C-alpha cells in the first residue's frame, strides 16, 4: 500500500497589507497559497475575468440569441455527472429567464449511448426537430455527432471544458477555455462555469438588441443561478483558482441565505447539512454523490429535474429518490472495492523479493457496474497512490474504462501516447489530467495493461509514487478552539489547489475506539499544555487501528466543530495518523 510523507509548507512572508487585520495563523495560510492582496481571495463578481477572453463566445452568443428571438427549438445535450447536470439546469433556467420558450434537454443514457454528442443521440434529438443543439460539459470530441447534426440541418454550439484532440468538430461555435487557441486565463473553469459565461454574454447581446424591453421581460439576475454553478464547480474537483473561488463563494453565500433552488435545499437537508454553516466540501461530499448516483445507476434526468423543480414538496420527492439511488450505489461500490482489494492482495503475495505493484494499475471484473467504476478507480488510487483504470463490460465485446490519476501524471496525454504507440488498441478516449474514460476491445486488455504501464513508468519518478500530505505546520493549543475553527471554515471556500488548512501536531493517545463500522474515535492530549481534545478518523485501515500499543502519534488534521444534541465542541478531523 502507499507510503505517506508529511511535509510542512515553507514559511512565507505575510507582512502584506491584506494581513494587517487578519489573525496570524490565517495570514500564514493565505500567504502560503499565494494570496498577496484582498482581491485575490475571490469575493466580488465584478472581479471575474471578462467573457470576451473566451474563443468563439461571440459566435455562440449570436447563434443562441437568434434562437431566442426567433423562438427556435433548442435542445441542450448534457452529461451524466454533477457538472453535466448543473450545466444543463443552469442553461435551461437561464434561457427561460431570457424569454426562450422552446427549450428542452436531453442527457444520453450512459449504458445505451455512452458519453457526448454521438450520431445516435443526434438522431434521438432530431425527432423534436430542433434548429439548434447546445452541448454542455461535452462536445469538443464529438466530430461524428456534429457532422450528423449538420447533415440533418441542425446547428450545433459546443460548450465544454475537456481537452480537445487535434481535430475540432465542425460546429457553429466551440466555447472551451481548454481549446489550444483560446486565451482565456481560467483554464480550470468547468462545464457549468462555461455555461454561466455564455449566459453573461447572451444577456449583454439581448440587452443591446433591446430584447427585454420589447418583450417586457425583466432583465435576468444571473446571480440567482450561482448556487448551481457553485455545486457543479466543487463537484467536478477543478482547481479553485481566483475565478472559480469567486463563483463558489458567491454561490455559497446564496445557499447560506436560504436562496438556493428547492432541490438543492432538499438534498442538503437529507444529508443533515445546515444551510447557514455550509462549506464547499458539503457540496462535494453530501450533494454531488446523490446527484451523480442518478447518472451512474439510472437516468440523470432525475437529478436535473430535482434541480429544476420549483415546488419544495416535489423537490423533496426527487431528493429522496436520489438518496435511495446513492445508498444503492454505495452498496455496489463497497462490493466492487472488496473484490479489487482482494485481487491486489493476491497480486502482492505473488510478487517476489523487492518487486512492487505495477506503476499503473488496471482492474477488471466481469460483474462490475459500468456506472461505478469511476468511483472505484478513485478509491484504489487513494489507497495505492498510483494511476488506476477500472474496467467493466460494455456491449459487443467491449470494455469501458474509467481512470483516476495522481499529481504529475496527465491521464489524457498518457492515453494519447498509448494510442500513438499502439494504433487501434484504444477505440476511443477522452478526459483531462486527473480523470479520463476509454473504450477497448476485451481481447486487448492484457496488451493494453502492459502498454499503459509502460507509458506511465517512463513518465514518473519514484517520488511521484509517494503520497505527500502538505500541512500548515502545528497549531498551538491556545488555537485549538471553536473561534479558530470557525475562522478557518469561513476563510474559504477551500478546494482543489486552494486546500483547506491542514495541521500536524504530536499528541498522546488517551482513548481510542471504533465507532460506526470503520471510524476511529480518539481522545488526544497535547503534551505541553495538557489539553485533551476529541478527534475522529474516518474509514481507518482496520489492520492498523485500533492499536493499544501506540501511545504517541503525529496527527495530520483539520480543526472542526462537532455539534451533537445541541452541544458544540471542538474536534480534530484526522487525515492521517503516524505512530511515534
C-beta of residue 319 within 8 angstroms of C-beta of residue 274 = no
User: Each residue of 102-137: b (16+ CB within 10 Å) or e?
Assistant: bbebbbbbbbebbbbbbbebbebbbeeebbbbbbbb
DSSP 3-state assignment of 452?
Answer: helix
CA atoms of 559 and 536, how far apart (whole Å): 11
Cα(378)–Cα(388) distance, integer angstroms: 7
pLDDT for 242 equals 93
Q: What is the pLDDT of residue 572?
A: 98
HSE-up of residue 490 (Cα within 13 Å, Cβ side): 12
Walk me through the domains of the chain, giving residue ranges and CATH numbers: 4-33+469-579 (2.40.50.460), 48-323 (3.90.1640.30), 351-465 (3.10.310.30)
pLDDT at 15: 65
pLDDT tens-place values along the chain, 580 residues long: 567 899 998 867 766 666 666 677 888 899 899 887 778 888 899 999 999 999 999 999 999 999 999 999 999 999 989 999 999 999 999 999 999 999 999 998 877 777 789 999 999 999 999 999 999 999 999 999 999 999 999 999 999 999 888 899 999 999 999 999 999 999 999 999 999 999 999 999 999 999 999 999 999 999 999 999 999 999 999 999 999 999 999 999 999 999 999 999 999 999 999 999 999 999 999 999 999 999 999 889 999 999 999 999 999 999 999 999 999 999 999 999 999 999 998 988 887 666 788 999 999 999 999 999 999 999 999 999 999 999 999 988 999 999 999 988 999 999 999 999 999 999 989 888 889 999 999 999 999 999 999 999 999 988 888 899 999 999 999 999 999 999 999 999 999 999 999 999 999 999 999 998 789 999 999 999 999 999 999 989 888 899 999 999 999 999 999 887 778 899 999 999 999 9
Per-residue model confidence (pLDDT) at position 353: 66
- The secondary structure of 167-202 as a DSSP string is S----SEEE-TTSTT---S-TT--HHHHHHHHHHHH
Distance separating alpha carbons of residues 226 and 292, to the nearest angstrom: 19
Q: In angstroms, rounded to a whole number, what is the distance separating the alpha carbons of residues 425 and 420?
A: 9
Confirm if 296 and 90 have CB atoms less than 8 A apart: no
Residue where the block lists cell 461555435:
173
Amino acid 402: pLDDT: 96
* Degrees to nearest 5, angle at CA 193 with 190 and 199: 145
Nearest to 418 by CA among 446, 448, 388: 448
Q: How many CB atoms lie within 10 A of CB 292?
A: 27
- Cα 144 to Cα 162: distance, rounded to the nearest angstrom: 17
* Element containing residue 323 per DSSP (H, E): helix 312-350
| pLDDT at residue 166, rounded to an integer | 86
Element (H, E) at 573: strand 567-579
Name residue, grid cell 454505495.
330
User: Cα–Cα distance between 385 and 364 in angstroms, integer?
Assistant: 18
pLDDT of 323 = 97
**Residues near 31 by Cβ (< 8 Å), separated by ≥ 6?**
12, 13, 14, 16, 19
Amino acid at each position: 500500500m502507499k507510503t505517506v510523507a508529511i511535509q510542512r509548507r515553507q514559511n512565507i512572508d505575510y507582512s502584506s497589507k491584506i494581513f494587517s487585520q487578519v489573525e496570524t495563523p490565517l495570514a500564514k495560510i493565505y500567504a502560503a497559497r499565494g494570496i498577496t492582496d484582498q482581491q485575490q481571495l475571490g469575493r466580488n463578481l465584478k472581479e471575474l475575468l471578462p467573457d470576451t477572453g473566451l474563443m468563439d463566445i461571440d459566435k455562440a452568443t449570436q447563434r443562441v440569441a437568434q434562437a431566442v428571438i426567433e423562438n427556435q427549438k433548442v435542445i441542450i445535450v448534457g452529461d451524466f455527472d454533477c457538472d453535466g447536470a448543473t450545466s444543463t439546469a443552469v442553461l435551461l433556467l437561464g434561457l427561460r429567464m431570457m424569454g426562450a420558450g422552446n427549450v428542452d434537454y436531453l442527457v444520453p443514457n450512459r449504458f445505451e449511448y455512452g458519453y457526448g454528442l454521438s450520431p445516435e443521440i443526434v438522431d434521438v434529438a432530431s425527432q423534436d426537430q430542433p434548429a439548434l443543439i447546445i452541448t454542455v460539459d461535452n462536445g469538443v470530441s464529438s466530430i461524428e455527432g456534429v457532422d450528423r447534426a449538420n447533415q440533418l440541418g441542425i446547428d450545433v454550439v459546443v460548450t465544454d471544458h475537456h481537452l480537445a484532440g487535434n481535430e475540432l468538430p465542425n460546429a457553429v461555435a466551440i466555447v472551451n477555455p481548454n481549446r489550444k487557441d483560446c486565451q482565456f486565463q481560467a483554464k480550470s473553469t468547468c462545464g457549468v462555469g462555461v455555461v454561466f459565461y455564455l449566459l453573461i454574454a447572451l444577456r449583454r447581446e439581448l440587452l443591446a438588441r433591446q430584447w427585454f424591453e420589447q418583450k417586457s421581460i425583466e432583465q435576468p439576475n444571473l446571480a440567482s443561478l450561482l448556487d448551481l454553478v457553485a455545486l457543479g464547480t466543487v463537484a467536478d474537483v477543478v482547481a479553485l483558482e481566483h475565478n472559480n473561488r469567486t463563483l463558489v463563494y458567491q454561490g455559497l453565500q446564496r445557499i447560506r441565505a436560504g436562496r438556493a433552488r428547492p432541490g438543492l435545499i432538499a438534498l442538503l437537508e437529507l444529508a443533515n447539512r445546515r444551510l447557514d454553516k455550509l462549506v464547499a466540501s458539503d457540496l462535494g461530499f453530501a450533494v454531488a454523490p446523490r446527484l451523480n448516483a442518478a447518472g451512474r445507476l439510472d437516468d440523470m434526468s432525475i437529478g436535473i429535474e430535482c434541480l429544476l423543480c420549483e415546488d419544495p414538496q416535489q423537490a423533496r420527492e426527487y431528493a429522496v429518490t436520489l438518496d435511495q439511488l446513492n445508498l444503492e450505489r454505495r452498496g455496489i461500490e463497497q462490493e466492487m472495492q472488496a473484490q479489487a482489494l482482494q485481487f491486489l492482495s493476491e497480486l502482492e503475495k505473488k510478487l517476489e523479493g523487492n518487486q512492487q505493484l505495477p506503476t499503473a494499475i488496471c482492474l477488471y471484473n466481469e460483474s462490475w457496474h459500468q456506472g461505478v467504476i469511476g468511483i472505484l478507480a478513485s478509491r484504489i488510487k487513494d489507497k495505492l497512490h498510483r494511476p488506476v483504470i477500472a474496467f467493466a463490460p460494455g456491449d459487443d465485446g467491449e470494455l469501458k474504462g474509467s481512470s483516476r490519476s495522481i499529481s504529475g501524471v496527465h491521464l489524457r496525454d498518457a492515453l494519447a501516447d498509448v494510442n500513438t504507440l499502439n494504433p487501434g488498441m484504444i477505440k476511443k478516449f477522452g478526459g483531462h489530467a486527473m480523470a479520463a474514460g476509454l473504450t477497448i476491445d476485451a481481447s486487448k486488455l492484457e496488451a493494453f495493461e502492459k502498454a499503459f504501464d509502460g507509458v506511465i513508468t517512463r513518465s514518473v519518478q519514484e517520488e511521484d509514487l509517494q503520497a505527500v500530505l502538505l500541512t500548515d505546520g502545528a497549531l498551538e493549543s491556545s488555537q485549538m478552539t471553536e473561534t479558530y475553527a470557525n475562522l478557518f471554515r469561513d476563510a474559504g471556500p477551500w478546494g482543489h489547489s486552494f486546500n483547506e488548512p491542514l495541521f500536524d501536531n504530536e499528541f498522546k493517545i488517551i482513548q481510542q475506539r471504533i465507532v460506526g463500522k470503520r471510524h476511529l474515535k480518539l481522545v488526544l492530549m497535547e503534551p505541553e499544555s495538557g489539553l485533551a481534545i476529541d478527534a475522529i478518523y474516518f474509514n481507518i485501515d482496520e489492520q492498523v487501528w485500533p492499536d493499544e500499543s501506540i501511545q504517541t502519534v503525529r496527527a495530520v488534521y483539520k480543526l472542526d466543530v462537532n455539534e451533537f444534541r445541541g452541544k458544540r465542541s471542538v474536534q480534530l478531523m484526522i487525515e492521517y495518523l503516524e505512530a511515534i
